[in-house]
Amino acid sequence: MNDAAHHSPLDAFLGATPKRVRRHLVSIAVLAVAAIAAAVLFVRFVAGTESPYYFAPVMAGDIVPLVSGRGVVRSTREMTIRARFAGTVTSVPGPADGQVRSGQVLAVLDAASIEQALEIDRAAVAAAEAALESARITVQETASRLDRFESVWRRSGQRVPSLNELEAARADASRARQQEAAARARLGAARLRVGDEARRLSGAVVRSPIDGYVVARRVEPGRHVERGQPLFVLAPGGGQMTVTVPVTSAQAALLRPGSRGTLRIDGMPEETQTARLARVDTGRSGPIAVFVLEKPSGKVVPGMRANLEMELPKRSDVLLVPDAALEFSPEGSAGRERDRIYLLGDDGQPRRVYVSAGASDGKRTEISAQGVEPGARVIIGWRNPPADGDGSQ
């Protein structure tokens, strides 16, 4: 059978010969295979299906750093309520935030030991009072006896009683007066102890000394507190109000006093307040930015929680990595004393690179490091986490 036998009328109409049709089909097959191969390579490059890590390219670009954080509205006229004695907190009827009135009970401490000590001291006062009364009687008796001896001694021409008896009477009277003074001092000390214990006992019920607001409550029922330990922070209404938020060292270097940010108060999402940066202080865990509210709404009171956001000057043509890159670590988060990222090498293994982290816009962070170029693949997380102990460095 020759080619003409397979040459259909349709082929004749289209002007296609059998050989030309076969070449056309082969071309289509080659193009399809090439497209599939290109798609596979693209997916592998973008998604890294052969890698156990998710990664993203290091980019060079611009960033508008953002300072954001949560804080509590504070007053410059705050006062701290402290425990007057060590003990266990039995109840905390005072609110965690909100308004309080003068005299309102905030907390109650277990005062059983103080009550017992007060009873003992009151008994000591009663004993001291009895001792003082006895000393007074002795003073009167010895003084009366000495008066009789001296009167007889003068009338008898200093012959009766004997000089030794007269001197003994004088000594007895002197000792009686000294004992009375000592008894009076002991009574005074006992009364002071009673007064001190009574004042401590009054501190078992912690009351608000002002009409104002609770900025912070630092005690819970059942907790043991020491004498002088802060229990509540209160603030009167009005006055200047501030918000303090933690910042990174890189952000602190870019902050300038007088810069303004936007404050959103919890429970008031549709209202914004303007806050001005007053200063950057050094806190226990790093720098903290102190903002002063400018013309706050009358609804804003001390103790409210708030979110603050402030844009910093734009940074141009800098290296940028996703924030997740600075958080990732194959060996876990323990012992991270320096900022670092992990680049994915050609061999598929992570390579640790120490960097200096700069400002962030909440999604990306500026970095500087030697040997890091735009386009490098930086690891941002595990695709297939290994079993415990199998992480690589």
**Residue segments in the chain with a per-residue pLDDT below the cut of 50:** 1, 4-5, 10, 13-14, 40-43, 46-48, 392-393
Residue-wise pLDDT for 78-115, tens only, equals: 999 999 989 999 999 999 888 999 999 999 999 998 89
Q: What gap in Å lies between CA 378 and CA 327, rounded to an integer?
A: 12
pLDDT value of position 103: 94
The domain defined by 235-313 carries CATH number 3.30.390.50: no
| DSSP-derived secondary structure for 81-145 | EE-SS-EEEEE--S-SSEEE-TT-EEEEE--HHHHHHHHHHHHHHHHHHHHHHHHHHHHHHHHHH
At 51 the three-state DSSP class reads coil
Q: Which residues contact 48 (CB under 8 A, 6 or more apart)?
A: 54, 55, 344, 377, 383
Domain boundaries, the chain: 3-47, 53-65+316-382, 79-108+205-232, 112-202, 235-313
Cα–Cα distance for residue pair 43/293, rounded to 1 Å: 51
First to last CA, the chain: 70
Q: How many whole angstroms separate alpha carbon 308 and alpha carbon 153? A: 96
DSSP-assigned letters across all residues of 219-284: --TT-EE-TT-EEEEEE-SSS-EEEEEE--HHHHHH--TT-EEEEEETT-TT-EEEEEEEEEEE-S
Per-residue confidence (pLDDT) for residue 275, from 0 to 100: 94
What are the pLDDT digits (tens) for 116-155?
Answer: 999 999 999 999 999 999 999 999 999 999 999 999 999 9
What pLDDT is stored for residue 27 in this prediction? Answer: 66
Instruction: Fold for 79-108+205-232, please state it.
Output: OB fold (Dihydrolipoamide Acetyltransferase, E2P) (2.40.50)
- Separation between Cα atoms, residue 99 and residue 106, nearest integer Å: 12
Architecture of domain 53-65+316-382 in CATH? Beta Barrel (2.40)
